[in-house]
Amino acid sequence: MKLTDIETFVVGNPPPHFGGRYFVFVKLTTDSGVSGIGEAYCVPFEPHLVAKMIEDVFARYVAGNDPHDIETMWRRVYSSGFTQHPDLTLMGVLSALEMACWDIIGKEANKPVYKLLGGQVHERLRAYTYIYPRPGDTKDVYHDPDLAAERSAEYLAQGFTALKFDPAGPYSAFDGRQLSLEALDLCERFAKSLREAVGMKADLLFGTHGQMTAAGAIRLAKRLEPYDPLWLEEPVPPDAPDEMAKVARATTIPVATGERLTTKYDFARLLRAGAAAILQMNLGRVGGILEAKKIAAMAEVDHVQIAPHLYCGPVVGAANIQIATCSPNFLILESIETWGGFHTEILKSPIRFEEGHVIPSTAPGLGVELNEDVARAHPYTGNMLHLEMTQHPVQ
């Protein structure tokens, strides 16, 4: 069996754009006609260029090879151009290609990927969602603690037992920083209002995006501790694990991080520093499914848990489900609400969600199939990035 063909899809995500402005998918096909799909997460170039990057790497290192030879492909791509370093762009590209290979491997074996990576550990996967806005909102749910508390009741009714929110303000190219007193007060009011609203029915996941210095994050954590969040997410920028470790040592709130890290090498530095209790690898960036399994195994040694990150499309979501299902140290899975809307339309069969849990598919491969007609009907024609930071310092 050899890989012969590639097709990329840059798909616009219609309003309300939950999961990002667009998704970058890839389909690989073998000489025996078996196809697999993958997705790249948040490569920091405009998406049509990312699609070209995926095609270029496929032509150099993947075409003509057996999709089962994951380790060989991984080393060749990781070392491309004399790099051999955790490169976010190259690893996003590799993640999409590797994911598609695993989809093919599972289909050839007639098994879900999780059955090929140690087997099923979890029959149901606990899930959480961000607290999102609704049409007709007269206030901003991201900045109004009363509306967020009201919205939380709707998510509890859907079965969710954990909710994430991020009231700390914009993230900037010039972070970390000290949050203003007004921002600290808003964060505390959010935590208080949500805890009063959900009681002990749901965990609170306090999201940030590296806005703070270690000292600033410790100030915030002291305010949040009375409300017992399950985690404080990425409190400092991802480039300094020793600084993140200072936060972890100074608070009773578990630190979670990893969406902006890639490969076992980044995560090993994080673990050595004792910087996090929960790892949030995104399988569309981390280096693929097997790399995520290696990271999960490394974390298991230190009794660190995994909570796969998702702010992209449902193909990465399906890969997250595979790794969560076969990992003993799985904690919780990020969902985009209940996987409805465009996340359902772009798939031939939706991801199964029941009472706050994702039910792993028993279908072979990743367990999902891209609806190519829908993908082609929603081309993304812009040139913006998946996520963009504020370009000026936040005072």
Task: Report the side by side order of strands in the sheet with 22-30.
Answer: 3-12, 22-30, 35-40
Dihedral (CA of 60, 30, 345, 19) sign: negative
| Residue in 105, 109, 117, 150 with CA at minimum distance from that of residue 132 | 150
> Could you identify the residue written with the tokens 């007269």?
138
- The angle, 0 to 180 degrees and rounded to 10, between the axes of the packed helices 263-273 and 241-250 is 40
- Residue 287 backbone zone (phi > 0: left; psi -120 to 50: alpha; other: beta): left
Exactly one of 209, 343, 357, 386 is catalytic; which is it? 209
386 in active site: no
309 in active site: yes
* Helix (H) or strand (E) segment spanning residue 126: strand 125-130
DSSP letter (8 states) at residue 353: E
Exactly one of 68, 85, 303, 309 is catalytic; which is it? 309
For 262, how many CA atoms within 13 A lie in the half-sphere containing its CB?
23
> Could you identify the residue written with the tokens 């367990």?
367
Q: Which residues are marked as active site?
A: 209, 309
